[in-house]
Amino acid sequence: MLATLGVVTSLTLGAALTGSPSQAQAAPEQTLVSRATTKAFAVTSAVVFNRNAASITDPRSPWVVVNKKRPLNPPQLRASARIRTDQLRVAPVAAVGASKAATKMLATYQAETGRRMQSQSAYRSYATQVSVYNASVRIRGVAATDKIIARPGTSEHQTGWAIDVSALPSNCSLSTCFANTHQGKWLSANAWRFGFLLRYPANKVAVTGYSFEPWHYRFVGPYLTTEMRRTGFTTLEEFFRLPAAPSY
């Protein structure tokens, strides 16, 4: 059986990222509409996995790899084809494919367990990332901030493909203890079924460049998560044979 994932986005392109690493600078945005070709992802074990089924450089692609060595191009890209749904509470905005998959995942969790969880953060604009990053720099400094927060133009949240999940009611929100909650354990075991990848594992800090974030899940689609699970890879960098990105 074939399962298809349609990806159609419009993008806002802005000027390049400017300013020093310690203080990111916001800049005006310009709008440019573009449509990505809808791609079909065959979820089947009968064929050889196709590593070229989607782009790892195009931010419109759910396979795009964004890290400290692979910034968004342009840095101020804004994925505007997003969707709102009551299932994604608090921050109910994400790329269409990610939002639909997250809605199904959260609904399945509630149906299977009688408990609930929510998306606490999904899409973040470049300007929002500027504010988040700079606020942390003022408190922690650049070095400590770079371990936990992406600089503007290098955040997965800016693509709309990432979500931060928390328990509902809130418990260990945006904290490593979320891994030990019922919700965190269920996600760790089941998120791949819905096309979500735990993006920053505890034992892969040297590869991803970020501290363990058991709440941060990245949508890549079930075709890719199934293959990563089969082959034992836990990071996009390692699966696609890309250099590790421990620093900028």
Catalytic residue annotation: 213
Length of the chain: 248
Residues 235 and 227: their CA atoms lie apart, in Å, by 12
Pick from 86, 62, 82: nearest CA to 4: 62
Local structure of 20: helix, strand or coil = coil
- Calpha distance 77→11 (Å, rounded): 6
Q: Which long-range contacts does 79-82 make (Cβ < 8 Å, 24+ apart)? A: 79/9, 79/11, 79/123, 79/158, 79/159, 79/160, 80/9, 80/10, 80/11, 80/12, 81/8, 81/9, 81/10, 81/160, 82/123, 82/160
Interatomic CA distance for residues 160 and 219, integer angstroms: 9
b/e burial code for range 134-143 (CB count within 10 A of at least 16 → b): bebbeeeeee
- Locate 147 and state its tokens: 């371990």
